[in-house]
Structure 1
Amino acid sequence: MDQIPPKSKLSRALESIFARALRAGRKQRMARSGIEHAIEFFIPKPHWSIQERCAGDKKKAAGAFL
Protein backbone atom coordinates (compact mmCIF):
# COMPACT_ATOMS: atom_id res chain seq x y z
CA MET A 1 0.00 0.00 0.00
CA ASP A 2 1.13 3.54 -0.73
CA GLN A 3 1.52 5.76 2.27
CA ILE A 4 -0.20 9.12 2.30
CA PRO A 5 2.50 11.81 2.42
CA PRO A 6 2.45 14.02 5.53
CA LYS A 7 0.76 17.36 5.12
CA SER A 8 2.95 20.40 4.70
CA LYS A 9 3.09 23.11 7.34
CA LEU A 10 1.27 25.48 4.96
CA SER A 11 -1.46 22.95 4.25
CA ARG A 12 -2.07 22.29 7.96
CA ALA A 13 -2.10 26.04 8.72
CA LEU A 14 -4.59 26.78 5.95
CA GLU A 15 -6.89 23.96 7.06
CA SER A 16 -6.70 25.17 10.65
CA ILE A 17 -7.53 28.78 9.72
CA PHE A 18 -10.40 27.70 7.48
CA ALA A 19 -11.78 25.32 10.10
CA ARG A 20 -11.63 28.03 12.78
CA ALA A 21 -13.43 30.47 10.49
CA LEU A 22 -16.17 27.94 9.78
CA ARG A 23 -16.58 27.06 13.46
CA ALA A 24 -16.92 30.72 14.29
CA GLY A 25 -19.73 30.97 11.74
CA ARG A 26 -17.87 33.52 9.65
CA LYS A 27 -18.84 34.23 6.08
CA GLN A 28 -16.81 32.67 3.29
CA ARG A 29 -15.05 35.93 2.46
CA MET A 30 -13.73 36.13 6.04
CA ALA A 31 -12.27 32.64 5.70
CA ARG A 32 -10.77 33.60 2.35
CA SER A 33 -9.11 36.65 3.91
CA GLY A 34 -7.62 34.45 6.66
CA ILE A 35 -6.26 32.07 4.03
CA GLU A 36 -4.77 34.98 2.07
CA HIS A 37 -3.05 36.10 5.27
CA ALA A 38 -1.64 32.58 5.77
CA ILE A 39 -0.38 32.52 2.19
CA GLU A 40 1.38 35.85 2.78
CA PHE A 41 2.85 34.57 6.06
CA PHE A 42 4.03 31.13 4.94
CA ILE A 43 5.09 31.81 1.35
CA PRO A 44 8.04 34.22 1.29
CA LYS A 45 7.71 37.20 -1.03
CA PRO A 46 10.26 35.95 -3.61
CA HIS A 47 7.96 32.96 -4.20
CA TRP A 48 4.78 34.99 -4.70
CA SER A 49 5.54 35.31 -8.41
CA ILE A 50 5.58 31.50 -8.64
CA GLN A 51 2.32 31.35 -6.68
CA GLU A 52 0.73 34.02 -8.88
CA ARG A 53 1.89 32.27 -12.07
CA CYS A 54 0.25 29.04 -10.88
CA ALA A 55 -3.00 30.45 -9.50
CA GLY A 56 -3.34 33.90 -11.05
CA ASP A 57 -3.04 35.79 -7.77
CA LYS A 58 -3.33 35.34 -4.00
CA LYS A 59 -7.11 35.74 -4.00
CA LYS A 60 -7.50 32.96 -6.57
CA ALA A 61 -5.00 30.84 -4.66
CA ALA A 62 -7.02 31.34 -1.46
CA GLY A 63 -10.24 30.60 -3.34
CA ALA A 64 -8.80 27.27 -4.42
CA PHE A 65 -8.82 26.15 -0.78
CA LEU A 66 -12.53 26.92 -0.39
Structure 2
Amino acid sequence: MANGFLQEGFRRARAAVEPVVRQTVTAEYAERLQQADAKQRRHLLRMMKREIHRRVDEKAPRWGLY
Protein backbone atom coordinates (compact mmCIF):
# COMPACT_ATOMS: atom_id res chain seq x y z
CA MET A 1 0.00 0.00 0.00
CA ALA A 2 2.34 2.68 -1.28
CA ASN A 3 -0.29 5.40 -1.12
CA GLY A 4 -0.73 5.01 2.65
CA PHE A 5 3.04 5.17 3.07
CA LEU A 6 3.19 8.44 1.13
CA GLN A 7 0.32 9.92 3.12
CA GLU A 8 2.14 9.12 6.36
CA GLY A 9 5.25 10.90 5.08
CA PHE A 10 3.26 14.02 4.22
CA ARG A 11 1.53 13.87 7.61
CA ARG A 12 4.90 13.77 9.37
CA ALA A 13 6.20 16.66 7.28
CA ARG A 14 3.18 18.76 8.21
CA ALA A 15 3.53 17.80 11.88
CA ALA A 16 7.17 18.94 11.81
CA VAL A 17 6.34 22.30 10.18
CA GLU A 18 3.19 23.24 12.11
CA PRO A 19 4.67 24.21 15.53
CA VAL A 20 7.17 26.60 13.95
CA VAL A 21 4.51 28.22 11.76
CA ARG A 22 2.10 28.45 14.71
CA GLN A 23 4.74 30.21 16.80
CA THR A 24 5.64 32.78 14.13
CA VAL A 25 2.01 33.59 13.24
CA THR A 26 1.09 33.91 16.93
CA ALA A 27 3.99 36.32 17.45
CA GLU A 28 2.84 38.39 14.45
CA TYR A 29 -0.74 38.62 15.75
CA ALA A 30 0.14 39.11 19.45
CA GLU A 31 0.14 42.91 19.56
CA ARG A 32 -3.09 43.23 17.57
CA LEU A 33 -4.79 40.66 19.83
CA GLN A 34 -3.81 42.61 22.96
CA GLN A 35 -5.30 45.84 21.62
CA ALA A 36 -8.52 44.30 20.26
CA ASP A 37 -11.90 44.16 21.93
CA ALA A 38 -13.84 40.88 22.16
CA LYS A 39 -15.44 41.07 18.71
CA GLN A 40 -12.17 41.99 16.99
CA ARG A 41 -10.33 39.28 18.96
CA ARG A 42 -12.68 36.57 17.65
CA HIS A 43 -12.12 37.80 14.11
CA LEU A 44 -8.33 37.95 14.57
CA LEU A 45 -8.22 34.44 16.04
CA ARG A 46 -10.14 33.11 13.03
CA MET A 47 -7.78 34.92 10.65
CA MET A 48 -4.77 33.62 12.58
CA LYS A 49 -6.05 30.04 12.26
CA ARG A 50 -6.51 30.45 8.50
CA GLU A 51 -3.04 31.95 8.15
CA ILE A 52 -1.47 29.04 10.05
CA HIS A 53 -3.17 26.51 7.77
CA ARG A 54 -2.21 28.47 4.66
CA ARG A 55 1.47 28.66 5.63
CA VAL A 56 1.63 25.00 6.63
CA ASP A 57 0.12 24.11 3.22
CA GLU A 58 2.82 26.24 1.54
CA LYS A 59 5.66 24.52 3.36
CA ALA A 60 4.30 20.95 3.45
CA PRO A 61 1.40 20.32 1.06
CA ARG A 62 -1.20 17.76 2.12
CA TRP A 63 -0.72 15.47 -0.87
CA GLY A 64 2.78 16.31 -2.02
CA LEU A 65 3.29 18.65 -4.92
CA TYR A 66 0.07 19.75 -6.59
Query: Which is greater in Rg?
Result: 2
Q: Which TM class, normalised by the smaller chain length?
A: 0.3 to 0.5
TM-score normalised by L of structure 1:
0.38
TM-score normalised by L of structure 2:
0.38
- Structure number with the bigger relative contact order (C-alpha 8 A, sep ≥ 6) is 2
